[in-house]
Amino acid sequence: MKMKGQYLERTFIRGLETTATYLPQSQEFILHSPTLTSMKWWPGNLGKTVNHAVVMAQLFIRGKKHGIHPFIVQLRQTENHQPMKGITVGDIGPKFGFNSNDNGFLKLDHVYIPRENMLMKYAKVSPDGTYTKPPTDRLAHGSMMYIRVAFLDATAEALAKACTVAIRYCVVRRQSEMEPGDKEPQILDYQSQQPKLFPQLAMAYALYFMSMRTMKIYDNLLVELANGNYSNLQDMHALICGMKVVSTTTMSKGIEVCRLACGGHGYSHASGLPDLFTMVTHFQTAEGKNTVMLLQTARYLVKCASNAVSGENLSGQVEYLSESPQGKAAVGSYSDLLNLGVLHDAYKHRAQR
């Protein structure tokens, strides 16, 4: 996608090079990595641990491509943990953090698996090679939803840990007597500290409540999918992409604010903050790079806004775009700023604008 001479960042999923070719005569798939760039890279626990993996590959039947589908592939022998025939697998090496997780690489060289190893809840391949399409192509959006929803809770927990360490430190740490002979005050009482830490504490609560709300919406979506209702799938995909970005970016920046608020002690591993930061900051690129995730949400919102301008009545998370434009939220006193209804209207007005 090109705009004003610049290319917008995106992930070229449909260009996946790993292939899965079906053989009707033996009822098997041949999985193959035909190029260096088709090797799998980054999956957690792949480097040294797992014996089986769900591998995404382009499905070919009698020379016709049917798009990306998931396949269960045995990687290592259960008897001696050695790689199976045609499997090249290993660890990608040290990372910025989280090195307890053996992220790995995988190359497949004409690996045969039985037909039953294709996950066929929606798309199906019969023994004779007849292909049955899934009810909707949007089901591809759901493959990474759960882990992204799980990130929301993890980011709230990580930021809460950082706030706990930093605020407790600022209560115990005393520095610089205000008047000669006075007891040194807690550094939390300094006005320069409170604007750093209190917003992070509030955000930790906000992320936690947001994660619970999003998980509830996700659980409802699973019920709808089980009943054959796919109408909210795209809406949920856009919501989770946006929430993943907001939560992981806010969390990562917030932990660094907490670390710096602890002065030199925040640089010490004894504080726990350096390990915490390196453990979770990769959430910003794991399971979807944040820039790409933002673009997916943005494209969806622009499309919905265009439909709303055309007179279409929207539903779900974007229903507000179809409503009449809100006037300025009425704020007549300080107490109005504590009124959730007023705050809700203000945010809705800003989102519509």
Distances (CA, A) of 130 to 32, 114, 133, 311: 21, 16, 10, 42
Domain layout of the chain by residue ranges:
2-134, 142-322, 324-353
Is pLDDT of 218 > 60?
Answer: yes
Query: In CATH, which of 3.40.50.1820, 1.10.10.10, 2.40.110.10, 3.40.190.10 is domain 2-134?
Result: 2.40.110.10
Give residue for tokens 């001696």: 80
User: What does pTM read for this prediction?
Assistant: 0.83
pLDDT per residue over 219-229, tens digit each? 999 999 888 88
2 pLDDT tier (thresholds 50, 70, 90): very low
- Separation CA 271–CA 262 (nearest Å): 9
- For 149, counting Cβ atoms within 10 Å of its Cβ (0-12 exposed, 13-18 middle, 19+ buried), the class is buried
If pLDDT is split at 50, 70 and 90, which confidence band does 12 have? low
Mean pLDDT in residue range 276-295? 91
Alpha carbons 267 and 285: distance in angstroms, whole number: 24
Tell me the percentage of the chain whose pLDDT exceeds 90.
65
- State which fold the 142-322 domain adopts: Butyryl-CoA Dehydrogenase, subunit A; domain 3 (1.20.140)
Which two tokens mark 79?
């008897």
Residues assigned a catalytic role = 287
What integer is the mean pLDDT of 290-301? 93
CA distance 47 to 99: 11
Q: How confident is the model at residue 182 (pLDDT cuts 50, 70, 90)?
A: confident
**Matching CATH topology for 2-134 and 142-322?**
no
- If you average pLDDT over residues 284-302, what whole number do you get? 91
Q: What is the mean pLDDT of residues 140-164?
A: 88
How sure is the predictor about 140, in pLDDT bands with cuts at 50, 70 and 90? low
**pLDDT band of 56, cuts 50, 70, 90:** very high
- Residue-averaged pLDDT of the chain: 90
Residue type, 316: G
Place of tokens 């950082």: 162
CA angle 208, 209, 212 (to 5 degrees): 90
List the alpha helices (DSSP H) in the chain: 145-172, 194-226, 233-261, 273-280, 290-309, 340-352
Which residue, among 267, 272, 200, 178, has the nearest Cα to 187 in the 3D structure? 178
Does the pLDDT of residue 13 top 80, yes or no? no
Q: CB of 77 within 8 A of CB of 119?
A: no
Residue-wise pLDDT tens digits, 69-86: 999 999 999 999 999 999
